[in-house]
Structure 1
């Protein structure tokens, strides 16, 4: 009986957390397009980042929810307001001033934005898993390395 009551209590609190997410998403959606950056973890603090952008990809508002339990709530991050989202995620020094969880969420949101703009968004993009090796900058450098290796093989320098 105790396990059943604990399950019901957890389900009720989970419902409240989803309602909290919907409320904050709706508020940001009224301000512009909303990017969602995810970094879900099972045994560590998971992080969810909501970023409202205007038509020029300038951040109008940003909110973060991080925590291990269902008691986590959204908090506003004002330091990003007014910044270009693209410049924020592509500026190494500024990006690495953020903690690892926020940085991973920003990169996840950036990856989703690029795939959306290119029309290559797939079902696996909604799984919440961020693959560092599929980020645009990494993909670009990987293609350059492959091209360079091909030239070395063609010249007979590399097998």
Structure 2
């Protein structure tokens, strides 16, 4: 049986298929490694916040837009000691300091307090408030 020169089942097409499979496997490995580093970064920041007080986490899952996670260290009265956030659409996003909400009572934060923040951060903060009220 003759192998056709061109087409899906040809020698040349088979090599391309293998190259695509290898490329996909490499992309998956890189994605997994970067995801691991992102989780490790979050856990490190979470542990640091935990040393300051109770930690409340809020999230806003982005379907097409970027997702956001906020974490607040709060004291026994519910006042924010420190806040951090992670926002982005890729595994390259890292935790950053969330300034401007320190010393506010978490359950008393309103929309005016959140004017300067992105839509994702606003939604994540509101989710954190909801999570705080559930405790």
Partner of 1:30: 51
Counterpart mapping for 1:51-62 below 5 A: 51-62=72-83
Q: TM-score, normalised by structure 2?
A: 0.79
| Structure 2 portions without partners, runs of 5+ | 1-21
Partner of 1:112: 131
Paired with 2:101 and 2:129, the residues of 1 have a C-alpha distance of: 14
Paired with 1:59 and 1:72, the residues of 2 have a C-alpha distance of: 23
Paired with 1:18 and 1:9, the residues of 2 have a C-alpha distance of: 14
Q: How many Å apart are 1:96 and its aligned residue?
A: 4.0
Paired with 2:34 and 2:111, the residues of 1 have a C-alpha distance of: 38
Q: CA RMSD in A?
A: 1.2
Q: How many Å apart are 1:42 and its aligned residue?
A: 2.8
Partner of 2:108: 87
Larger radius of gyration: 2
Q: TM-score, normalised by structure 1?
A: 0.68
Paired with 1:21 and 1:87, the residues of 2 have a C-alpha distance of: 26
Partner of 1:77: 98
| Structure 1 portions without partners, runs of 5+ | 117-159
Partner of 2:18: none
Deviation by residue 1:101-148 (Cα, 9 ceiling, x = unmatched): 1111111011111112xxxxxxxxxxxxxxxxxxxxxxxxxxxxxxxx
Partner of 1:13: 34
Q: How many Å apart are 1:78 and its aligned residue?
A: 2.2
Counterpart mapping for 1:37-52 below 5 A: 37-52=58-73
Q: Is the 2:107–2:132 contact (alpha carbons within 8 Å) kept by the matching residues of 1?
A: no
Tell me whether 73-82 or 16-25 shows the greater mean CA deviation: 73-82
1:3 aligns with 2:45: no
Paired with 1:104 and 1:5, the residues of 2 have a C-alpha distance of: 35
Paired with 2:24 and 2:108, the residues of 1 have a C-alpha distance of: 49
